[in-house]
Each structure stands twice: as structure tokens, then as C-alpha cells.
Structure 1
Amino acid sequence: MIASHDTIINKELRKISHEYKGLKKFVDFGCGNGARTMIFAEFGREITGLDCDDYLLPEGKKHITFFKRNFLHSELQDNITDMVLCFDVVEHMEQPSALLQEIHRVMTSTGILILSTPNRNRLTSWPLLALGLKKYPARISKEFDQYPEYWHLTEYSEKQLHKLVEDNNFQVLEWKKIFYGLPGRKGVGSLRGLPLYHNHILILKKS
């Protein structure tokens, strides 16, 4: 299917939501405007969103219990949720391991973490990396020049991300390699796991 980056990503998240429809307590670490959080607002789930500020769209406010929180100190109880989404957050964190440890703390033993982050070696990055022209922290686009909090402090190759999650006591259940194309334009969802894909989407459990 040829479609936009957002369309393809949201389709994959919807598949995950349906595959794990028996999981009822959902927390989004980094819910943003709530658009992706709302994908999981089905099957009678209790939906909680955390972020550093309230960016929720009006529709999201109707369905999401929101808390303005530091991701490293969520103030949630231990073992309280069986489904966590952390989408495009870890690349912004100075302490990515601390983030994963906090998520690990609040998850039940049978819960899952859906972790997504840009592939360091995606189509738009690997030539720059190969030529030594891409450095970190890296701005997302010119419009974010004055907002370093939105810059990527690091990005992960498949090997680097695998080590990060294993070091923080997570086990990979599934590794989705999603979107071959240019964000803002169209591309295809998957190409049999070939390199240069844009998003890592991992489904993880506690190890």
C-alpha cells in the first residue's frame, strides 16, 4: 500500500490494538495531542496519557485521563498497567534507560510495551551519516531551530536499540520495520524487513 507516513504508522498501531484487545489498562508515555493515544481507545480500555504539558485535542480530552508529569517520575503505582505506548519519545531523552526503567516499574508481568523510535539508518539519514554530515543532537526541521527540546538527542540503529531494551530488562516479542519513503510524502509500509525503513516499532514484554 502506498500512503503517507502517518497513515501507515496509524494502521500498524491499530493492528496492535486489535491483536491485544484483551489488555484493558493503557498508558501513553508522551501522549502529545492524543491522536495516536485515541487509536487504543476501544475494547473498553481505561486510557491514561502522560506528557510534560497539556497538548490534548478537544476530542482527546473526552476519552483520555491526562496527567502533566515527568516521564522519569510518573507517580503511577507499581504494576498498574498492562499496555504502554511510548511513541517517538526515547530519542529525545537524556536518560533513556531511566525512562524504560520507569515504564518497566508500572507494567504488569503480563503487560506489553509498544516502543517506537526513528531508525538511525533510515532512507533520509544514512547518506548523511556515511558522509559525516549528521551530528547529534539533531534538529527535526528548520522550524524547530529555536526549540532544542524537540531535537533528537540520539537515534538508534537496530543493534543499538536491541541492546537498550535488553539492558533494561525487556524482551522483544515482535519487531516491526515500518515505512519506506520520505515523511511528508508517500511511501510503502514494509519491504520484508529490508534496511532503510523509517520507524522501529517494537512490542516488548518484561524479561
Structure 2
Amino acid sequence: MINSRKGYDERVNAGRAIPLAPERDLDDDPAMMVQEQIARIKFLDEKSSIRDRKVLDLGCGTGFNFAYAKEKLGSKEVTGVDISSSAIAYAKKIYPAGSFLQGDICSQNFDCGNGIWDTVICCEVIEHVDQPQALLDTIHRHLRHSGVGFVSTPNRPVFSLGFEPSPVNHTHVKEFTLDEFRSMLEEKFSKVEIWGQRFTNDRLFKMQQSIVARNIKDYRLLGEWYWQDSVRRIWKTLRCEPLQRLWGGGLKYSHGDFAFANPVTQDSIWLCAFVVK
């Protein structure tokens, strides 16, 4: 069940990026949230290579960052940590060669090797915790002096059209604006560089925004019933969404449909930050 204080759901497929075809090449996986993350990790590697690097993945979820970083990008070592026991169990099952640990990454007592990691990844996690500064403390103390942290989060004015609580993901505790995100990071790190992740195709961006606007209307109408799976299935059926998808409609994209902009543009759906101690 949902733990509202921690901002996570023990069900593996609830609010997490999960490969729909883990036996296939991740670059071709049909899950859009997986494709969003592949775009990020490829961008990280382009800006700060993780080849032959020791990588710590905080909030690793279903573990596919491990497979991508090791098999595609040549990382030396990748360890994933998540608070969810079901997510870690899934990651160990699908990627048996991986190193995955269950732990509270916001705890002051969390220690996965302080000061030894070349790269610390924390993608789409900080919006799920009620102590974001504690999470940033964890990133800071685990990075080696010359290491690079990579932190991403939804850009609230675009991702959720500024609506709170998020109409997109019910496990988001707090989404941030660019200024809020930058302020938090600059309190902890000596260098902060923020990029915006955006669609290269304006049609995809407009479709994403229209879906969020529709979700907001649904949430206002249904309240917390909006997050009940059975209610959502019925509601979507009444709106003929399954038929639309069957006929090829709906939002579909891959990692190649994204670009990264600095300075952050007004159509940036996510914020991606490089940080150093």
C-alpha cells in the first residue's frame, strides 16, 4: 500500500519505471518511463562519461539503470539501492548479476561506502521524499571529491501544470520549480548545472500537456478515487481510451525523442542537474 510519508508504493508497477519487455534490448522497450530514463542516463554519459566508473544508483527502482550502465555504457561497478522491498526483489530477479540493496537513502545512518563513488545517480526520486535535504546529504557524502552527482526531477509548472498534488503520479510528495530545485542544490553543492529535458517534437509536447490538463479535470471530479485502479479503468473505458490506443492513438515516444537544454526552456518537462562537492 501507499506510504504517503515516504512517497512510495510497494507494488512494483505503481508509479515506477518498469520495463515491459525486460528480455529485449532496453533501447527498444515500449515503456515510456523507461525511455525517459534511458534518455537521461545517455545524456549523463555524454556530459560526464561513466565508462569504467563506480556508479551508485539511489532510488534504483526496478534496477534497469544497472543493466544499461554496465552493458551499454561500460561502467566498472553499479550498485542500486531502494527503500522498496518489492522493487529490490524484482531487480534481483530480472538482473541476477546486479548488486541491489534495500535501504532508506534519506537516513543519516545510510552508508554504502561514503566518499568512494565516481558517479551518484538519483533520478526521479527527490520528489518522492519528505526530507529532500537529507537525500542531498546522502548524495554529497557518498561522492568522492572529484565525483559527479546527477539528480533529476519533474519540472512542476510543466510536468503537472503547477497543480498540486501531482495529477500524474500519486507517490509524488513534492514537485519543484526550477528556482526551488536550484536553491536546494546550491545549499549543498559547490557547483550546480541544471539542464531541461524536453521533447524535440512539439506535437508530443502538446499531447503530453493536454493529457495532464485532462488528468487535472479528472482529479478534481473524482478526488482520491482517481487513484483507485478499478475506478481509473472504468473511467478510461467510458472515455474510449483503450480503443484509441488500439487504433494507434495516444502518446508514444522513445529516448530519441528527447533533447536537453541549458538554460532550461519553458517546455522542459524534467530538470536534470549535475552537481559536485
TM-score range (shorter-chain normalised) is 0.7 to 0.9
Deviations 1:83-137 (A, max 9, x none): 0110111001111001101110111010011101000111x533xx3xxxx223x
- Number of aligned pairs? 186
Q: Which residue of 1 aligns with 2:202?
A: none
Which amino acid is the alignment partner of residue 130 of structure 2?
E
Within 2, Cα distance between the matches of 1:95 and 1:23?
32
For residues 40 and 145 of structure 2, the distance between their equivalents in structure 1, rounded to whole angstroms, comes to 24
1:185 maps to amino acid: L
1:135 to 156, 164, 169: 164
Cα displacement (A) at 1:59: 3.6
TM-superposed CA distance for 1:202, in Å, is: 1.2
Higher fraction of helix: 2
Task: Determine whether 1:7 maps to 2:42.
Answer: no
2:101 aligns to what? 67
2:25 matched residue in structure 1: none
Q: Structure 1 residues 38 and 17, CA, compared in 2 at 3 Å: closer, same or farther?
A: farther
Distance 1:110 1:12, change over 3 A: same
Q: Which has the higher strand share?
A: 1
- Distance in 2 (CA, whole Å) between partners of 1:12 and 1:49 is 17
Distance 1:15 1:100, change over 3 A: same
Counterpart amino acid of residue 259 in structure 2:
S
| Greater shift in the superposed pair: 18-27 or 195-204 | 18-27
In the TM superposition, structure 1's runs of 4+ consecutive aligned residues that sit over 6 Å from their partners are: none
CA displacement at 1:5 relative to structure 2: 6.0
> What amino acid does structure 1 have at the position aligned with 2:271?
H
Does the CA-based 8 Å contact 1:5-1:185 persist in structure 2? no
Paired with 2:127 and 2:260, the residues of 1 have a C-alpha distance of 24
Indicate the larger mover: 85-94 or 49-58. Answer: 49-58
Question: Which one of 46, 53, 63 corresponds to residue 84 of structure 2?
Answer: 53
What is aligned with 2:122?
86
Query: 1:107-186 alignment to 2 at 5 Å?
Result: 107-122=143-158, 124-126=159-161, 129=162, 134-136=163-165, 138=166, 140-141=168-169, 144=170, 150=171, 152-172=172-192, 174-180=193-199, 181=205, 182=208, 185-186=251-252
By relative contact order (CA 8 Å, sep 6+), the higher-ranking structure is 1
Structure 1 gap segments, 5+ residues each: 145-149
Which residue of the partner structure matches residue 147 of structure 1? none
CA distance in 2, matches of 1:94, 1:53: 16
Deviates more, 1:107-116 or 1:10-19: 10-19
Residues 197 and 272 in structure 2, CA contact (< 8 A), matched pair in contact too: yes
Work out whether residues 26 and 82 of structure 1, in 8 Å CA contact, stay in contact via their aligned partners in 2.
yes
Q: Distance in 1 between matches of 2:77 and 2:65?
A: 15
Q: Which runs of 5+ in 2 are unaligned?
A: 1-29, 200-204, 212-249
CA RMSD between the two structures: 2.6
Query: What corresponds to 2:258 in structure 1?
Result: 189
| TM score, norm. by length of structure 1 | 0.78
Q: Which amino acid aligns with 1:125?
A: S
Greater C-alpha Rg: 2
Judge conservation of contact 1:14–1:39 (CA < 8 Å) in 2: no
Provide closer, same or farther for how the CA distance between residues 23 and 176 of structure 1 changes in structure 2, counting only shifts above 3 A. farther
Q: Take 2:81 and 2:124, find their aligned partners in 1: how far apart are those partners?
A: 14
